[in-house]
Structure 1
Amino acid sequence: SNCAIALYDPERQVSVLAVDYLAGEGIRRFPLEVSFADFAHVLRQLQRGQLCQLSNFHHPCWPNHDRYTLIIAPICDKRDLTAQHEELLVLGNICGSRPPGQIFTEREQQLIQRVAGQCAIAIRQARLYQTIQRQVQQLQELNQLKDEFLHMVSHEMRTPLTNMKLAIGFLSKANLTERERRYFQILEMETNRELELINDLLELQALESGNKVLRLTCLSPQEWIPNLCEPFRLRAAQQGQQFQVEWDPDLWLLCTDESLLSRVVSELLNNACKYTPTGESIYLSVSQANSNGRPGWLITVRNTGVEIPAEALPRLFEKFYRLPQLDCRNAGGTGLGLSLVQKAVELLQGSLRVESHSRQVMVQMWCPHQGSLSETPSKA
């Protein structure tokens, strides 16, 4: 005739009615708290995981019934304290009643215990979800604080370094001795390295925070590829490397963020120039490719004379991860370049693949056309 579920509040030492069902009236919710001290003798039995049955019982929660038979099942969760000892954590109870003189059959007792078990699972899952939500919120707040800190510190450091670089440029034009000029070169190199680190941190922060907005333009391969490659062609020639570029003459125009795509390809070519030994080759190829019916460009950067260890491949895109043993020119770096590449490719909705074997490294990037799927990009 009656059923109620109560949850325990150990800190306040009270049992709080969660929901009450009365035959003929349906589900009711109203605030009711009962001190643990008021049912201490029953509570002790429930805390041992045992079922309680009471007869000729009166409870203020059900004023329409002066006396009745009551059954109470504990809602228990198990906590493993050690391998030998297991403690029951009683979350609350579920109780049912019927008129005095009637009893609950063994089947009904089993039923209410099964319902109590299901309640325990639901409560555990709900509380676990709440805990995870709180932890996620805390992590988001910490991540936001980290981003704000990096942004503030990077800006504060970039201003004096920019002024230092300007002053170094003026001073380097003075009549200097060979020894002074060497010191100025070291100073200029280290200043540029710090500026590069700060700029990379700011760029990475913008990509990770989601504040980077794509600025879409249509790229013509005949214009974009030669302009992008010319500095690397000169650099390769100075370092005694062979630099080859090829692209499909039927390549479509590509609608994408030119600045972001240029940053990605420049970083890949920069790594190729940095790690390729003298006398070896660097290749850049651009071809038309489709993925899941979506058109785009497949951009491949390949260099010879060097091989990335198999155990290092999974870590290539980690922040600050470097392979100094492959840096034959001791060019150094921030270790953020490939992390930037990965985040930028994600923002461009593309994909990235790296292979290394037979003393060569190949990086392939697929960059999709950013128009609608029903829109076909025109030929260059």
Structure 2
Amino acid sequence: MSETGTQTRAKRTARIGAGRLYQNRWMLAAAIVAVLVVHFLGSTSQWVTAAAVLALVLFALVAPRTPAAKRMADAAARVERSPLDRLSGEKLAAAVADPLIIFDRDGAVVHANAAAQRAFGAIRPEVPLLLMFRAPEMQALIEGALAGGNGPQGADYIERVPFERVYRVTAYAVERGTGLFVLAFRDQSEARRIDRMRADFIANASHELRTPLASIAGFVETLRGPARNDANARDQFLQIMQNQTGRMARLIDDLLSLSRLEMKPHVKPGGRVDLRQTVESVIASLAPLAADTGVVVDREFGEGSFEVEGDRDELFQVFQNLLENACKYGQSGGRVIVSMRHSMEGGEPEIEATVRDFGPGIPAEHIPRVTERFYRVDLETSRAQKGTGLGLSIVKHILSRHNGRLSIKSELGEGTAFSVHLPAR
């Protein structure tokens, strides 16, 4: 038992004893008074003395307690009935949200809470931990705890079945004399995923900026050297340099858009937007691109009002990205259909706006990842179309801020349909 626990129990015992002494002091006082009364009266009869003492003692026993004595007794009773005295280790373990396993000196499981049962399957008592966790880092952690290492010990552990989870595991002794130890698991999977995404994002952004910068630097060196007096080469190189600077400008604009969206993910826009009018404006603004790519844009709008709550500029950006992608990557189909209808697909009234092309389509294995930053189905085609790889990621963030969602349906050789679902106003 720890020193703190010993002191707590000593104080509790002292309080209880004080309460009992306070209650019984009437008995002691009565006995003393009886002896004095008999002595001063000068009675020589032992029976009279004994009777007097007995009478006063009985009076003390039935005498009402003073308020102070009653409060002292009640406090002592409350200490004895403390909820912590009745709280078991199993109840404490069940209250912990993270997986927790208690084991003994032999390394056998004594108890596993519900979170541990969900994370690692059924864990039976008396099962050796060294057989459950065969990873070298876990073996070393358990053996170090059993050997009596100084303080808590920690290790990183990866559980790969049924899916990969990363835990920070800590092992420590419960208390001296109990012979029990604890394995506490803290799930680090989400933090690791975010760190990996951040590292990938920085690497991809650096690569996307480095490529045009290297191209521009090479052409500048050429223009200052061998092509100094070559007018035709100069015009050609300057055009390429202009295209590369435009590519960097688009990339920076998209990065800034993502940054602004991520700074206010929980701030819901409260404006009123006519989605039909917004989509019509997008179609009109991209008419030159549709003409250049040989794509005809058809409309299939349903009846009724198509009003939603949101930010018009952000929703304009959503449909601009979707329609621009349809014209660029689906131009082989020669046609794009923009449709809008009311739906109850999500259980609540919503507006479904779909941009469908008739191009080559997207392979099924790529669909879950197309909204990731810098993810491209075909890298060469994307760069040829001056894509930054951030358009669909921006779409996903904007729709999330508007309580909406994006669904994608595609079949190879038949085209792709991107559907925006927004709550109806």
TM-score (norm 1): 0.56
**Counterpart of 1:284?**
338
Kindly indicate whether the alpha-carbon contact (under 8 Å) linking 1:240 and 1:279 is maintained by their aligned counterparts in 2. Answer: no
Kindly indicate whether the alpha-carbon contact (under 8 Å) linking 1:251 and 1:288 is maintained by their aligned counterparts in 2. Answer: no
Cα distance between partner residues in 2 of 1:341 and 1:19: 63
- Aligned-pair distance for 1:78? 4.5
**Counterpart of 1:66?**
none
Percent identity reads 24
- Aligned-pair distance for 1:20? 6.3
1:149-206 per-position Cα deviation (integer Å, ceiling 9, x unaligned): 98xx99xx9xxx9xx9xxxxxxxxxxx9554433232122111111111121222223
Greater RCO, 1 or 2 (C-alpha within 8 Å, sep 6+): 1
Kindly indicate whether the alpha-carbon contact (under 8 Å) linking 2:107 and 2:130 is maintained by their aligned counterparts in 1. Answer: no
**Counterpart of 1:295?**
349
- Aligned-pair distance for 1:340? 1.4
**CA 1:280–1:249 in structure 2 vs 1: closer, same or farther (change >3 Å)?**
same
Cα distance between partner residues in 2 of 1:263 and 1:240: 22
**Counterpart of 1:241?**
295
Task: Report the structure number with the largest CA radius of gyration.
Answer: 2
Counterpart of 2:185 (choices 128, 134, 139) is 128
Cα distance between partner residues in 2 of 1:82 and 1:138: 23
Alignment-mate amino acid for residue 318 of structure 2: V
Cα distance between partner residues in 2 of 1:208 and 1:193: 23
Kindly indicate whether the alpha-carbon contact (under 8 Å) linking 1:287 and 1:298 is maintained by their aligned counterparts in 2. Answer: yes
1:119-146 per-position Cα deviation (integer Å, ceiling 9, x unaligned): 74xx43xx434xx58x988998x79x98
**Counterpart of 1:274?**
328
**Counterpart of 2:422?**
367
Kindly indicate whether the alpha-carbon contact (under 8 Å) linking 2:373 and 2:390 is maintained by their aligned counterparts in 1. Answer: yes
Kindly indicate whether the alpha-carbon contact (under 8 Å) linking 2:269 and 2:402 is maintained by their aligned counterparts in 1. Answer: no
Q: Pick which of 316-325 and 184-193 moved more.
A: 316-325
**Counterpart of 1:259?**
313
- Structure holding more helix per residue: 2
Aligned to 2:294, what secondary structure does the other structure show?
A: coil
**Counterpart of 1:168?**
none
- Aligned-pair distance for 1:249? 3.1
**CA 1:195–1:309 in structure 2 vs 1: closer, same or farther (change >3 Å)?**
same
Q: Pick which of 80-89 and 248-257 moved more.
A: 80-89
Counterpart of 1:218 (choices 255, 264, 272) is 272
Kindly indicate whether the alpha-carbon contact (under 8 Å) linking 1:251 and 1:287 is maintained by their aligned counterparts in 2. Answer: no
**CA 1:204–1:330 in structure 2 vs 1: closer, same or farther (change >3 Å)?**
same
Alignment-mate amino acid for residue 304 of structure 1: F
**CA 1:138–1:19 in structure 2 vs 1: closer, same or farther (change >3 Å)?**
farther
TM-score (norm 2): 0.51
Counterpart of 2:239 (choices 172, 181, 185) is 185
Q: Pick which of 215-224 and 340-349 moved more.
A: 215-224
Counterpart of 1:204 (choices 248, 258, 261) is 258
- Aligned-pair distance for 1:353? 1.0
Aligned length: 268
Cα distance between partner residues in 2 of 1:220 and 1:308: 31
- Aligned-pair distance for 1:290? 3.3
**Counterpart of 2:282?**
228
1:344 paired to 2:401: no
1:310 paired to 2:364: yes
Kindly indicate whether the alpha-carbon contact (under 8 Å) linking 1:284 and 1:299 is maintained by their aligned counterparts in 2. Answer: yes
- Aligned-pair distance for 1:213? 4.1
**Counterpart of 2:407?**
353
Q: Structure 1 regions of 5+ residues with no counterpart?
A: 7-14, 30-45, 51-76, 97-115, 165-175, 370-376
Cα distance between partner residues in 1 of 2:285 and 2:345: 31
Alignment-mate amino acid for residue 290 of structure 2: A
**Counterpart of 2:34?**
none
**CA 1:289–1:177 in structure 2 vs 1: closer, same or farther (change >3 Å)?**
farther
**Counterpart of 2:387?**
333
**CA 1:228–1:82 in structure 2 vs 1: closer, same or farther (change >3 Å)?**
closer
**CA 1:193–1:49 in structure 2 vs 1: closer, same or farther (change >3 Å)?**
closer
Alignment-mate amino acid for residue 279 of structure 2: I
Kindly indicate whether the alpha-carbon contact (under 8 Å) linking 1:206 and 1:212 is maintained by their aligned counterparts in 2. Answer: no
Cα distance between partner residues in 1 of 2:303 and 2:371: 32
- Aligned-pair distance for 1:293? 5.0
**CA 1:310–1:298 in structure 2 vs 1: closer, same or farther (change >3 Å)?**
same
- Aligned-pair distance for 1:95? 5.5
Aligned to 1:216, what secondary structure does the other structure show?
A: coil
Aligned to 1:355, what secondary structure does the other structure show?
A: strand
Cα distance between partner residues in 1 of 2:386 and 2:245: 13
Kindly indicate whether the alpha-carbon contact (under 8 Å) linking 2:297 and 2:337 is maintained by their aligned counterparts in 1. Answer: yes
**CA 1:82–1:310 in structure 2 vs 1: closer, same or farther (change >3 Å)?**
closer
Q: Pick which of 303-312 and 222-231 moved more.
A: 222-231
1:202-259 per-position Cα deviation (integer Å, ceiling 9, x unaligned): 2222333436744432223453222111122221122212211231231332222112
Q: Structure 2 regions of 5+ residues with no counterpart?
A: 17-78, 86-103, 109-127, 147-172, 217-229
Kindly indicate whether the alpha-carbon contact (under 8 Å) linking 1:308 and 1:356 is maintained by their aligned counterparts in 2. Answer: yes
Kindly indicate whether the alpha-carbon contact (under 8 Å) linking 1:277 and 1:306 is maintained by their aligned counterparts in 2. Answer: no
